[in-house]
Amino acid sequence: MLKAKVNNQEKEYTIEFENREMNSGSIDGEKFLLDILKNKEGSYHVLDNNKSYNIEVVSANYEEKQLVLLVNGNKYTVTLRDKYDELLKSLGMDKLMAGKVNELKAPMPGLVLDIFVTPGTVVKKGDPVIVLEAMKMENVLKAAGDGVVKIIAVEKKQAVEKNQLLISFE
């Protein structure tokens, strides 16, 4: 079972597949049977009720479970949720990771080798911000989300303990 939203509209579709090929099943209770031909990687020709569709996967963000598809020349953004996402939502845990991270703390004791940012630096999720040496290994710590560096609480060559504040974000 999948839940799908197209172009961030309010309407959400419930998709249930009958087989691993995902060419038959139902969408909101309406049965479908597709004839799918793979042209090349990311490009498909689909027949549904004698209608022909050329579908190209423009991009796929598996972490966000989002696809951008080109269907007969029209662009669609499809966001998906599976049964595990639904379970987290029913338990009220779906928003836990959506919160903004305001602090970067040391994941382990170590020595600060390098700091790539200064107060006021704008960072994007995944940008490297600091290098921490621990157990003779260099660990590049990255920004957990988008933000602006507010305070740098450590200096180069400083020893830090586990959970010690390294950088604060706005």
95 confidence band (pLDDT: 50, 70, 90): low
User: Concatenated DSSP letters for 98-164?
Assistant: GSPP-EEE-SSSEEEEEE---TT-EE-TT-EEEEEEETTEEEEEE-SSSEEEEEE---TT-EE-TT-
Neighbours of 165 (CB within 10 A): 14
pTM listed for this prediction: 0.55
pLDDT at 61 over 60: yes
Phi-psi region of 159 (alpha: psi -120 to 50; beta: other; left: phi over 0): beta
pLDDT surpasses 90 at 38: yes
What domains, with CATH codes, occur in the chain? 2-97 (no CATH), 103-169 (2.40.50.100)
pLDDT at 97: 52
- Residue of 118 and 90 predicted with greater confidence: 118
Question: Using one digit for the tens of pLDDT, what is the confidence trace for 102-137?
Answer: 899 998 999 999 999 999 999 998 899 999 998 888
